[in-house]
Structure 1
């Protein structure tokens, strides 16, 4: 059981952790609008079509490879030093498109960006679990989910506007890590000193409790499925819209952004929802809603049906994201939360990376509408299965009653 809640940190600390979390959303999509200009600039490079695609996917691959290591380091070294290192990786790698002269250098920069994203996301998740407990943690993680959604919209729009000026322009958005990292280094310094003093006791308690591998197997599998299914939206929905006669890039972007826009207010309400509904019920409901949204995409006859599907799926996304962290990290001893955050980050990004590989054979055999329908039906079935599991293994609704955490 978690200990009695301590007062939550002040606004400056909250802004610092929210800033770190928001920066992770930019890893892939921010520079998508720069790809046509990049392809024209490097038109003489062999295999430019494939290499341009790697600009988007390489950061996810780097996160999958390094997030576990970042979690291990977060539990064993000074987090301020680790934050400074990953922020440097993020800044240098992210802005590589501004200054690198060769495509290979930009691709290397994207890998370095992935290392930075792995570190910032893991640290943001770990600090969220360490500094907020119980119901306060659920409220903060809901706020974090909303901040990530809003940041995604703002950063993608900013990247598109800057890419309109020059194809290198979108890469400048990644420089925002510098003020965010400085704020975090200053705001979180007292907590890092306190953590170092408490480390021996926390490690002793963690050794007694052990790492909750069974809990990770459950939540990591769900997180992988969630991301693998959800990332069918950015990779396949534009082509589904083209089938329906919607080809205007602005209209396509608006219909896809509707999903993220809906998820933000739902994430904000997550703390209140969890006072009345168990985490397992939230898992089931979120999968069912995302699945229903995908079925709407499959059945759509025009853009109105796609918009309805995006709104429904957005409700599920808003519920889902804070639920993974709340449920899992409440079961992890304090001295192991870095490792837990790194593993959860790995599961998420592995799902993102695998999504096009999973959807490709479905599209090939069923078509775009059929693929959305098949995935949607599967997610609805998974949601119902989790609802049945809640009946068999009931769980208290309030997050502060979750077991086995050491704060």
Structure 2
């Protein structure tokens, strides 16, 4: 059952959840425009090229590693306290880059930041799925994706300006997380969660019975889409700064503004998710996601100017804006409430594992083929994926029953969860 009626200040609570969601995009976006300057600062460090890329994505590995444990803690001991602790840790670990002098120390701080981001992301999304049901849930999840993108629109140009001042300065942005703490304390109660039968698991056997209800094949597909989608999406914040600098000589401010085009388009797409979901199944929206990203990456790959790259980033960003929102809504619709934190943590884990793996997977390819060819090639692959999922949506989904192809949880079908 929904806990929305128990919120004493529902508007403020929703705003707090949405603003807290912005912290996740900040984890990487804040320092992305500073990467070329960080590489110059630590040019003499062994394996500087790879390590500097990992400064942006190291947190992703620890989000991936920590999310399952955090999801279990959130389900067993509650969401609220974990969100508060994670927010404080986020500010301290993220801001420490301002004073650290070693590339290894910065990487260590990014690892701690990853654990904090995992705590924020899992608990915020779990609270949204706990507080809201059906139509309202999809709407709020769409707004969550939009706010994450809006955070990028605001922060990326700001981070670019700060990076031009000095590579350390953008790290201070992480400390703004502390501003949200009072609102979290006073507006976000611990939800009174129930499983679909009305009883929370009280023993190991009960928990095993609940886990047995999981649509494992569907969750495996969702996790795979999150992993692959992020490996590809994170080519933008990791590779675009170097791509623009080498091709056009763009400054940090220009790079930040260009990246903001991607996140801004993603925000608009996320806001439209609820409406689009009325007409398309989740599989259809996966096809739409890959289609937009395919066009955008191809445009980036064949471009030689900042303006055309920005157009490609905007188109690709519109596609990526559907990705997390769609997968979160899909998971919320097909999993029992009592263990939904664990289910969401699986997606969080694979999502950010994809971020961590992105430079490790893409860098050898781009070193061999060049960044332009790599972007164009990935665009072609995404186009093929869009066709496959479009055909799957047509041939496996009845026109009037968006998600009846997932019989594991007929009570919680994505169709019933759409708005």
Query: Which structure 1 segments of 5+ residues have no match?
Result: none
**Alpha-carbon separation, structure 1, partners of 2:167 and 2:379:** 36
Query: Deviation at 1:80?
Result: 2.4
Cα shift readout 1:44-70 (whole Å, capped 9, x = no counterpart): 877766655443232112111111111
Cα shift readout 1:319-345 (whole Å, capped 9, x = no counterpart): 223111111221010011110111101
Structure 1 window deviating more from structure 2 (24-33 vs 341-350): it is: 24-33
Is the alpha carbon distance of 1:311 and 1:30 closer, same or farther for their aligned partners in structure 2, counting shifts above 3 Å?
closer
**What residue is the counterpart of 2:193 in the other structure?**
195
Task: Map residues 16-27 of structure 1 onto 2, 5 A cutoff.
Answer: 16-27=16-27
- Taking only aligned residues, the RMSD between alpha carbons, in angstroms, comes to 3.3
Cα shift readout 1:71-119 (whole Å, capped 9, x = no counterpart): 1111111322222322232122112134556655444322211110010
**What residue is the counterpart of 1:87 in the other structure?**
87
**What residue is the counterpart of 2:412 in the other structure?**
405
Task: Map residues 186-335 of structure 1 onto 2, 5 A cutoff.
Answer: 186-189=186-189, 191-192=190-191, 194-195=192-193, 201-203=199-201, 207-208=209-210, 210-242=213-245, 244-335=247-338
**Alpha-carbon separation, structure 2, partners of 1:258 and 1:185:** 34
**Alpha-carbon separation, structure 2, partners of 1:37 and 1:372:** 23
Give me the TM-score of the superposition, normalised by structure 1.
0.87
Contact 2:298 2:376 in 1 (8 A): yes
**Alpha-carbon separation, structure 1, partners of 2:40 and 2:222:** 43
**Alpha-carbon separation, structure 2, partners of 1:40 and 1:143:** 38
Is the alpha carbon distance of 1:272 and 1:234 closer, same or farther for their aligned partners in structure 2, counting shifts above 3 Å?
same
**What residue is the counterpart of 1:74 in the other structure?**
74
Cα shift readout 1:251-274 (whole Å, capped 9, x = no counterpart): 333333212112212211111111
Structure 1 window deviating more from structure 2 (358-367 vs 141-150): it is: 358-367
Give me the TM-score of the superposition, normalised by structure 2.
0.85
**Alpha-carbon separation, structure 2, partners of 1:41 and 1:237:** 19
Contact 1:83 1:119 in 2 (8 A): yes
Query: Deviation at 1:349?
Result: 0.6
Query: Deviation at 1:361?
Result: 3.4
Contact 1:199 1:335 in 2 (8 A): no
**Alpha-carbon separation, structure 1, partners of 2:294 and 2:154:** 26
**What residue is the counterpart of 1:341 in the other structure?**
344
Contact 1:91 1:175 in 2 (8 A): yes
Query: Which structure 2 segments of 5+ residues have no match?
Result: none
Task: Map residues 367-378 of structure 1 onto 2, 5 A cutoff.
Answer: 367-378=370-381
Contact 1:135 1:398 in 2 (8 A): no
Is the alpha carbon distance of 1:125 and 1:245 closer, same or farther for their aligned partners in structure 2, counting shifts above 3 Å?
same
**Alpha-carbon separation, structure 2, partners of 1:76 and 1:5:** 18
Cα shift readout 1:172-228 (whole Å, capped 9, x = no counterpart): 211222222331232112x43x33999981337873562222111111111111111
Contact 2:32 2:238 in 1 (8 A): no
